[in-house]
Every structure is written in structure tokens, then in C-alpha cells.
Structure 1
């Protein structure tokens, strides 16, 4: 009997992966059962579905930190790609399932709104309960493919919804993406902030540059090597199966994170942008609550199945920065 390419890949996983890795053939499955692909494993199929979906393409026009148009600043898409690449590098070194890491990384921010966390904060206040990780799960479960969803595996869905917040992913691959997401945004937000002229490298706390390095590549490299070394060491010493950082690197990361919140995320420039974003998102939200028939048909139809607030929230959350601005002009400017 000839084995399919998928079976061969699954056998390679079993032979080469760490005993703590999530094997493709041991997935807990999908919401709706499907016939298996002869070529791709379940996580490879999930990755492909995410890459080809509308929500993934829209990430290129969604803010990471800076709303101001600049071709060299990160967008939500480039952030996603960096999380993916760093995650895969570490996964390979730890002999984890790279395909699962990739699928979680590529899908983790699909539910992010226009204008980044500023848009998220507004929708949370107006809707009463909006978190981008929960919206990402809603995107892949319900909103994509005209309401059919992507029907992803349990492990990918678990990693997506638990990539931030108090939730703990069940797989080591999911735990890895959660740790890498924070490392990635801290590293590239420092670089973008310096390029934006918000601060200079000399303004960073001395302990950060001494321990993590003075360049973007040095900081990423330091984090990657530390995660690999510390995770291997702790697991070999019979510690809990988890993703680890050394105390020195973890403390330096928290100092850097505190600096970024004080000087960038809650800084003067971002606060000014936040006011504009809140005004645009809030105005659009109220407008479509009163004129739901002007939403795209798929969102308007959802009102019957769920409710008006949920449908308007879903629509606003899918908007890119540029589309939200154009909508605002169309609805409010003469």
C-alpha cells in the first residue's frame, strides 16, 4: 500500500520531533470533520487557509503602533510575519511543530481593528466586551468565507485565542507564540520609535542596552538564543514543560516594556493619534447603529442571526485604517 505524502510527513514528525511537540496526526480535530488531504498535514492546511483569507490580506493596512503613513513602519501584517519567522526559528531549534507555530502566528491578530489597540479600546468601550484575540477566533470560526468560517483545528484555535491575556495555550507551540509575540512587538516598536524620532537609542535604560544590545538584530538574537537555551535546560532538568526565559533577560524585557508604555504607547504622539482614532471609530460605530442597512450585505444579514451591536462591531473591526478614514469622509464630510 502506497502511503500519501501526508503520511510520510507525519512519520517524519514522529521520528524527529521532541516528545513534547504536538504531532499533526494527534490533533483533536476540527469543529466539522473533513476528509484529510493526501499532501498536507492538518496544520499545513490551517496555515494555507489563513494566508488566503480576506482578514489576513487586510492586515497590511492596519496600524501596528503609528497611524501616520510611512512605508517603513511596521503594520499589523509585518508584525505577524516577524512573529511567524522568529517563532519558527525557535520551534525548529526545540524540535517543535513548525507548521502549528506558523498557523497560530499567522492567525493570532486577524481580529485586530483599524488603528491598532486604539480601535480595540474604543470598540471595547462601545460594545462592552471586545478583545482582539477573541475577535481573531470569531474571524476564523464565523466571519470568514461568508459566515462559514475556516474550520481550523482545535490546537490552532486554542493558540490564537490564548496568545494574549490570562489564557494559557494547551500546546507548547501555542505557549511559544504567546512569548514570541511580546518579544517581537517590543523589539520592532523600539526600532520604529527611533525611526519616528520619538527617542534615541541613548535614551533607553542602560540595563536594556547592556543586556539586550543596541541594535534591533542584537535584541532579537539575544531573546531567541535565551529562549532556546533556557527552555532546553529547564525541560532537561525535569521542570514544567513550558517556554522559559532567564531571569536576567526577563527582567530587562520588563524594564524595556515599562519604558515603551511610558514613552511610546502612552506617550504624547500616540495619545494625539488615539484621540483621532477614537473619534473616527466612535463616529462610525454610532452611524452604522443608526443606519445598519448601509453596511455590506453580509454584516447586515448577520443582524437577524445575532444582534445589531455585534454586527456593527464585526464590520468596524474588519475595516483597515484607510477604509475607515474613507468611510468617515463619505458619511460625515460634505
Structure 2
């Protein structure tokens, strides 16, 4: 079907359409609305935004809406569908880096909206926060670390390398670069919210995936912990989201209460011991590191194998950028093609080292 033409010459999706009366709310009107309704602490969108390369403002979208849209439609974001969260080659219902990013965006937006912060900026940071991850999960950081003078950290790598072509606003880039708790504090409250949402989301959903896969039995989670935060992912998210909101409103500091902070630390510690650092997980990490390191070594020694070799740029940097951008499947396939990586040494199963 080509649509339906009504009496006003408008092509509609359906045979009948609701009539509405409305007025255009352009970017300037949205900026004014946000300035009058958001918290004084919120980061306000202004014009085209503070970007490395100046741009003309969009007539309809705020600068942070544009950032969110650019990330959402980028190839770097789409590739997250093929990158490890807990499982390499996950089953249909198990998380990937992409579904993790979407869940972080939901958790972060739920918090930001109640605190009257800028949800557009919050979602942009959340959707882009893991775009710097290499294939095979956190083990890729260990594999790629030796090839760069300043090491490899997925957070700043994603902000300043992977997503650099998108010309994102300074606030968005900063939030992505500093979402990890080991990094400096983000420059915006929205960035702080995403940092909390990331840990809340992965602690809850990584456990759910491990239980669903039979790696962990629900009864092994300490009873006093589940009595406090709930035994299921939805209960746990509700507990932590509610606590961040209430704690921030009562103290003026974006964070968790001592009780919830201790509970989140215990949940993360449980995941470490029962998921991330089991013998199978450690073996998985070693397999990922060996493969990616060998593949990167080969590309440095044979730069003609790089898709777009630039003689003016460090070969190591180009090799790392190429490998870091790969999906799990592509990296494993290419290792077989270029260096004859044996199939019995391919990383399969669970991963993750946080």
C-alpha cells in the first residue's frame, strides 16, 4: 500500500486519521520551556551547543537531542549488538552491550526526570557510554592496553576516538568519558546520574542473565540482601532508582544512601565471585586477550591489512582502533583468516571482568 489520501490531500498511514490542532514547538521554545521547568542544577541546551567544530543550530531539536540522535543512528552504537556484555554469542534473550546501553538509558532517564534534570543529555550519555568497548568485553582492555602509550580505557576511548566523528557537545563527550567510577567526576549532574545508572543496571541484569543461563542459582544470593533489594531484576532496579531519587532530594548530592550503597556493593561483589571471576570466566578472558593481542600484533606488522591505512598516523593507534571497533564475531573470524587462529582456541561462553 502507498498510504491513504484524505480530502485535504494528506497521505495518511490509515484510512482514517485523527484531526489535531497544535502549534510548532521549535528548538528555541523548547529551550525556554526547559529553562523555566528544569532544576537550577540541570544542564540547559543552548543553540547548537559547545562542539569541537561549530555548527548551525537545528530549527527543531536541541543540541542534546541531536547528540542522542547521532549516537543512536551511528554504526558504533549498532555494533554494540555484536559485543559481549556477559555472554559471547548470546542467546536471543541475553544482554549484549547494546541492550545494556538501552537499559542504562532507561534507568538514568527515570532518575533524571524525577530530579528535573535534562533527560536528552542523560540519554545521549547513557546510549554512548559503552561505544568504546572492544570485542569480548572488558578483557579487550587488557589485550589492547600494551599497544598504546597511555593505555586503553573504553570510557575515554569511546568519547574521544570512537564517537569523535559525531562532533558531540562537550557535556555529552565528558559524560561518556567519565562514566566509570574510576574516572574523574563528570562535569554535569546528568553525567553523574549515568555513572550510577550504569552500575545499577549491570549489577541487576548481569545477575538475571547468569541465573537464566543456569550459572548461578537464585537461592545462592544472600537472603538478607534479597530481602532488602528484592530477588528479581525489576525489584532491584526499583529499589536503587527510588533510593537515588530520595537521597538526592534529601541531601542535594547525587548518590545512594549508605544502606543502598552497601547493598549495591554487595550485589556487585556477589557477581564478581559467582560470574565475572569464576574459572570459566577467567579462561574466557585469557582466550579473548590472546586472540586480540595476536590480531593487533599482526595488523601492526602488516598495515596493508588495515582498511584505510594512513602513513601519517601511528600504526599501533590505527590497529587498536580497528580491532576495538570490531564485533566479537568479526574479530574471531578475521583472526582465523589473517593468522589462522585455531577454532579450539576461540573464546566461547561467558566473559566479563569488571
Q: 2:282 aligns with which of 271, 277, 285?
A: 271
- In structure 1, the partner of 2:263 is 252
- In structure 1, the partner of 2:138 is 117
- In structure 2, the partner of 1:209 is 226
Q: Structure 1 stretches (4+) deviating beyond 2 angstroms?
A: 125-128, 138-142
- In structure 2, the partner of 1:12 is 33
Cα deviation for residue 206 of structure 1 reads 2.4
Aligned counterparts of 2:236 and 2:303: Cα–Cα separation in 1:
47
Q: 1:226 aligns with which of 233, 237, 243?
A: 243
Cα deviation for residue 23 of structure 1 reads 0.7
Q: Which has the higher helix share?
A: 1
C-alpha distance 72-212 of structure 1, shift in aligned 2 (>3 A): same
Cα deviation for residue 279 of structure 1 reads 2.0
Q: Could you list the per-position Cα deviations for residues 227-276 of structure 1 after superposition, in whole angstroms to 9, with x for gaps in the alignment?
A: 111111112xxxxxx31211111101111111111221111221121122
Aligned counterparts of 1:9 and 1:28: Cα–Cα separation in 2:
14
Aligned counterparts of 2:197 and 2:48: Cα–Cα separation in 1:
23
Equivalent residue of 1:35, what SS? coil
Asked if structure 2 preserves the Cα contact closer than 8 Å seen for 1:172 and 1:243, the reply is yes
- In structure 2, the partner of 1:146 is none
Matches within 5 A, 1:8-157: 8-25=29-46, 29-128=50-149, 129-140=151-162, 142=164, 149-157=165-173
CA RMSD of aligned residues (A): 1.7
Q: 1:318 aligns with which of 303, 325, 334?
A: 325
Paired positions, count: 317
TM-score, normalised to structure 2, is 0.86
C-alpha distance 13-289 of structure 1, shift in aligned 2 (>3 A): same
Aligned counterparts of 2:284 and 2:94: Cα–Cα separation in 1:
15
Q: 2:185 aligns with which of 168, 172, 188?
A: 168
Aligned counterparts of 1:332 and 1:49: Cα–Cα separation in 2:
35
Aligned counterparts of 2:50 and 2:24: Cα–Cα separation in 1:
21
- In structure 1, the partner of 2:206 is 189
Asked if structure 2 preserves the Cα contact closer than 8 Å seen for 1:20 and 1:172, the reply is yes
Asked if structure 2 preserves the Cα contact closer than 8 Å seen for 1:24 and 1:43, the reply is yes
Aligned counterparts of 1:154 and 1:116: Cα–Cα separation in 2:
27
Asked if structure 2 preserves the Cα contact closer than 8 Å seen for 1:234 and 1:244, the reply is no
Cα deviation for residue 12 of structure 1 reads 0.9
Aligned counterparts of 1:60 and 1:331: Cα–Cα separation in 2:
24
- In structure 2, the partner of 1:280 is 291
Structure 1 residues not aligned, in runs of 5+: 143-148, 236-241
Asked if structure 2 preserves the Cα contact closer than 8 Å seen for 1:212 and 1:219, the reply is yes
Asked if structure 2 preserves the Cα contact closer than 8 Å seen for 1:113 and 1:316, the reply is yes
Structure 2 residues not aligned, in runs of 5+: 1-22, 342-354
Asked if structure 2 preserves the Cα contact closer than 8 Å seen for 1:205 and 1:256, the reply is no
Asked if structure 2 preserves the Cα contact closer than 8 Å seen for 1:168 and 1:175, the reply is yes
TM-score, normalised to structure 1, is 0.91
Equivalent residue of 1:116, what SS? coil
Aligned counterparts of 1:56 and 1:170: Cα–Cα separation in 2:
23
